[in-house]
Each structure stands twice: as structure tokens, then as C-alpha cells.
Amino acid sequence: MNLPRRSLLKAGVGLSLLTGPVTAAFSRANNRPLVSDGVQCGEISASSAVLWSRCDRPAKMYVEYSYSSEFFNSTHLPPIDVLSVSDFTGKIQLTRLLSDKTVYYKITFAALEDLKATSEPVFGHFKTAPVIARNIAFAWSGDTVGQGWGIDPARGGFKTYRALNLHELDFFIHSGDTVYADGPLQESVHLADGSTWHNLITPEKLKVAETLEEFRGQWKYNFLDTHFREFNTHVPTYYQWDDHEVINNWSPSTNLLDDSRYTEKSVHVLAAHAARAFYEMTPIAYVAQEPGRIYRSIHYGPDLDIFFLDLRKYRAGNGEGLEAVSGDTTVLLGRQQLDWLRSELSKSKATWKIIACDMPIGLVVWEDWKNASGVEAVANGDNGDPKGRELEFAELLSFIAEREIHNTVWLTADVHYTAAHFYNPKKAAFKNFLPFWEFVSGPLHAGGFGPNVLDNTFGPEVVFQKTPPTANSHPDQGFQFFGLVNINADTKALTVRLMNNENVLQHEQVLLPVLK
């Protein structure tokens, strides 16, 4: 007697009695690959985008996309293999897309040992960049899971991403400190009000990251947050990095010999692992000339070009060049990146030129705060003529003035508070530049700090700033920030709104462009 499969299972017949196709189907249903970290999208242009996902095992990644949410007339891309060498991550570039269109996609994985065993599909969507003027809306911030503040589900997890999800955004700029590889978490943190912060814990977050697997684990931790995963399904992200992807304030001069947390004493080994994990776990594009390069530009229609900088990879040691007026010790951007930026700015015909820089220009950031020594960012604190790392920025700002490149706006993070700075040559020690604005945002989910002292070399004025009353304020205290930018297609006005993690407006600045 041949009983149907459902009857066999209801009758409790042992699995050893199930043979042939029935066995294969049952096994397949219970051993399907899992999409472990959702999907991400990035590097959006008018005709291309990069999609990312991660599986829990060796698999083929299948991508299907369409301009219809019902996937009519969809395009299927050839599958790519995801293997342990990349921690089962896969990313693929979509090309020849139509401009200013919403693209719907789904990603499915098939196990390499049985291609009929497939994951549940995961869906996402994004909008390609325009080629004619339209209204543009995007956001930026930085600093995720720093100073011991991890994901506490009972407190809402990453509340800043929850607030970001309330906005219709074309894209997001993560301005660095995307993870805190040097910031282990404790399961419980007792707060001043008598309550307890309960962190989700993973093995990799119990110690500083040293191995490639531990650096990967810093990223996998962030994907545990539901708001972050939801955000990734519908908002493309352009990623930068700063210091905590490796270790606080790292530079070639970082010495780990006396740091008992680390058995790996080479900062160059740590940086190599961190860079590999950063490239694997984000949808950043591959650059053939320099694989893993972070500085790049994006043309986003006639009103916006964005220039992403890397202030970390090419710098000289933090303890060097404070008073130097030339030489290798003054390097922060590096000659190749500086020349690239000058060239790209001079070619830009966009109304607005956004320079996405992971650290502010005029705020003093010390490597050693207790002794006010070791320049970590740009400013050296002497309020005078450019020296040290200020020299590259003086050269850049002079170039912008000489070429009459108007409408540059700097978006930055790093200092864990929000601010609006106006750089005024009339009040600066160095005067050969056009006035410009710099906006600071963050943290996304980390300790709140500030404010920092301003250096007058380039004449920054504080128009607005919001800082916590005590250092290392936790995310529930409201001093977590992101910035919103809107560009109006008709008036060309650029509006910056500084927001907190409860989605409450802190400051608004409307900028009108200089039109030639």
C-alpha cells in the first residue's frame, strides 16, 4: 500500500522509512539556507547600483530585479557563489538601469550541495539617481555602538534608525565609525537613574577585534537590530570609515605594546583585517586601480555631486607634524587623494558640491585628551597660520577660491554631538578661501560628548550646537543625532535640518546657492 507523504508523517513513520524523492524533499525543507543579515544597497548612480546580502553557508546568490513591485518583466542576473573566504557575503553591481526609477529586487540563495534547497527570498528597493533636476532628500550621521552602548531591545534598539525610517530618503551617508571594533560590550550597564541597560551580546563583542573573523563580527552585531535591517531594505547607503573600525585614533604611529587588551601588536595587521571586513560587509563598489578604496565621487543629477573623503588610510602619525610647515609628517589626505579632489571639484557642474568628510575641519580633536597632544583630526589648536595637517586644507580651500568653485558644503561626524559651523574668511587667521558651511551630526548609537574647542585658523563660527550635559550620555538620553538635507529642484535652495533620535528638529539652516 502506498500512503501519501503527509499520511506517513502524520502516522509517525520514522525518517529512515522515507526513501527517494520524499526523503529529499523533507530534508530540503528542513535544511534551507538562511539569509542571515538581510540586504543592503549602495553606490547608486543614474544607471547602476550595488546590491549586497549574506548567507549562512556556501551558496549561489540569485538576484532578480524589476521596475514593478510585482516583478513584471523582471531581469535575472547570473548567480554568483558566496563562500567562506568572504564569510558568505555576496555583492553584485546592477548596470544599464533607467534613471530616476524605483527598482525592486529580491535576493535568494541556493545551497551549493543541493541547488533545489533555497532560502526564502529577501526583498528591497531603491531609486536611481536623476539626470534632470528633481527634489532630493538624503541624510547623514556616524558612530554606531560606541562607548559600551549596544542593542537593548527593551529600549527600542537603534532608535535613530527608527527615526530615519520615518523619512522618504533617496540615500544615506554613513560618515564613519560604522562599528566599534575596539569597544567590547558588557551584558549589563547600571545607569544613574537606577535602571539597567541590557546589551545583546555576541562572542565577538566581548573583546576587542583582532582577527578577521572578530572584525566581521562587529558588523554582524549591527545587523541584529530590526530598525537597521528595515532601513537597509529601502534606503541605499554610501559608506565611509574613520578610526573605530580599527582602534580609537589609529594612525601609523599607534603603539599597542602596552595595551594589554591586544595580543596582536601591529596596528597595520588590525587595519588590514578591518579594511577587509569593511569591504565585505558593505555595498561599497570595487575600484580596480585600488581595491578597497574609500574616497570616490557620486554624480546625483544636475544639482548634486558628492565627494567622499578618507582621512584615515593615508595619514602620517598622529603625534607628528604639529608645527611642521611642509614634509611627510603633515599628511592627512595624501597627495593622490588631494589632487583627485581638486580635479573632481573643478570638473563638477552640479549646483551643490557636498564634501562628505569623516571629521570636522575646525574642531580640535586630540589623540591624548588628558595632555592635549597628538593631532587626531585637522586643527592643531594654535589659532594661527596653517601648520601640520591644516596645510592640505589650506591648499584645497585656496584652490576652491581661485577656481571660484561655489556652493561647497561639508558634512561631518566623529565628535558625538551636532552643530552648524560657518567658516568666515573675514574672521580667520588664514583668509584665502570662500565662505562655506560645515554641519556635524552623530552619534547614531553611541555615547554623547562635546563640545570641542574651535581653532580659528579657518575662522569657524558656531551658529548652533547641541551637546549632552555629561560625557558619555547613553542613547536614551536624547543626544543622538542625524542630519537631513533637502535640495529644491525649482529654487535650488539646500536645507539642512539637524534632528535627534526622537525625530525632533534641533536646528534648520536654509542655504541659497551662488548661481553663475
Q: What is the pLDDT of residues 267-279, one digit of tens each?
A: 999 999 999 999 9
Q: What is the pLDDT of residue 410?
A: 98
Q: What is the pLDDT of residue 39?
A: 98
Residues 6+ apart with CB under 8 A from 1: none
Domain assignments of the chain as residue spans, ordered by start: 1-30, 34-127, 136-511
pLDDT at 16 over 60: no
Structure-block grid coordinates of residue 221: 552585531
Question: Cα(355)–Cα(408) distance, rounded to whole angstroms?
Answer: 7
Q: What is the pLDDT of residue 428?
A: 98
Per CATH, which fold does 136-511 belong to? Purple Acid Phosphatase; chain A, domain 2 (3.60.21)
Question: Cα(405)–Cα(394) distance, rounded to whole angstroms?
Answer: 15
Structure-block grid coordinates of residue 163: 527615526
452-455's contacts with Cβ under 8 Å and 24+ in sequence apart are 452/360, 452/363, 452/364, 452/365, 452/415, 453/363, 453/364, 453/381, 454/362, 454/363, 454/364, 454/379, 454/421, 455/362, 455/363, 455/364, 455/379, 455/380, 455/381, 455/382, 455/383
Per CATH, which fold does 34-127 belong to? Immunoglobulin-like (2.60.40)
Q: Which residues face 153 on adjacent strands?
A: none
Q: What is the pLDDT of residue 22?
A: 34
pLDDT at 245 over 70: yes
Q: pLDDT band at 322, cuts 50/70/90?
A: confident
Structure-block grid coordinates of residue 192: 544613574
Q: What is the pLDDT of residue 426?
A: 97
pLDDT at 18 over 60: no
pLDDT at 338 over 60: yes
Please state the pTM of the whole predicted model.
Answer: 0.93
Q: What is the pLDDT of residue 20?
A: 36
Question: Cα(502)–Cα(135) distance, rounded to whole angstroms?
Answer: 25
Q: Per residue in 380-419, pLDDT tens?
A: 999 999 999 999 999 999 999 999 999 999 999 999 999 9
Q: What is the pLDDT of residue 30?
A: 63
- pLDDT averaged over the chain? 93
pLDDT at 7 over 50: no
Q: What is the pLDDT of residue 368?
A: 81
Structure-block grid coordinates of residue 479: 543626544
Q: Which one is predicted more confidently, 224 or 373?
A: 224
Residue type, 282: T
Lookup result for grid cell 564613519? 176
Q: What is the pLDDT of residue 29?
A: 55
pLDDT at 11 over 60: no
Question: Measured between alpha carbons, how far is residue 306 from residues 136, 167, 341, 472 in Å?
Answer: 13, 21, 11, 31
What's the average model confidence in pLDDT over 33-59?
97
Longest CA–CA separation in the chain, Å: 96
Q: pLDDT band at 370, cuts 50/70/90?
A: confident
pLDDT at 352 over 90: yes
Q: In what order do the strands lie in the sheet with 436-440?
A: 296-299, 304-308, 352-356, 408-412, 436-440, 418-423, 460-466
DSSP assignment, residue 84? G
Give percent above pLDDT 70 in the chain: 94
Residues 6+ apart with CB under 8 A from 269: none
The torsion angles phi and psi of 216, rounded to 5 degrees, stand at: -60, -35
Residues 200-216 as b/e (b if ≥16 CB within 10 A, e otherwise) read ebeebbeebbbebebbb
Residues in the chain: 516
Report the range of poorest mean pLDDT among 10-24, 142-156, 363-377.
10-24
**Which of 318, 458, 455 shows the shortest CA–CA distance to 381?**
455
**Which of 424, 464, 487, 463 shows the shortest CA–CA distance to 170?**
487
What's the average model confidence in pLDDT over 107-114?
97
Residues 6+ apart with CB under 8 A from 41: 49, 50, 51, 52, 105, 124, 126, 232, 236, 237, 283
What's the average model confidence in pLDDT over 480-489?
98
In three-state form (DSSP H/G/I as H, E/B as E, the rest C), the secondary structure along 105-152 is EEEEEEECCEEEEECCCEEEEEECCCCCCCCEEEEEECCECCCCCCCC
Q: What is the pLDDT of residue 19?
A: 33
Residue type, 355: I
Q: pLDDT band at 5, cuts 50/70/90?
A: very low
pLDDT at 369 over 50: yes
Residues 6+ apart with CB under 8 A from 255: none
What's the average model confidence in pLDDT over 174-180?
98
Question: Cα(234)–Cα(317) distance, rounded to whole angstroms?
Answer: 39
315 in helix, strand or coil? coil
pLDDT at 6 over 50: no
For residue 279, the surrounding DSSP H or E stretch is helix 267-281
Burial class (CB in 10 A: 0-12, 13-18, 19+), 231: buried
Q: pLDDT band at 14, cuts 50/70/90?
A: very low
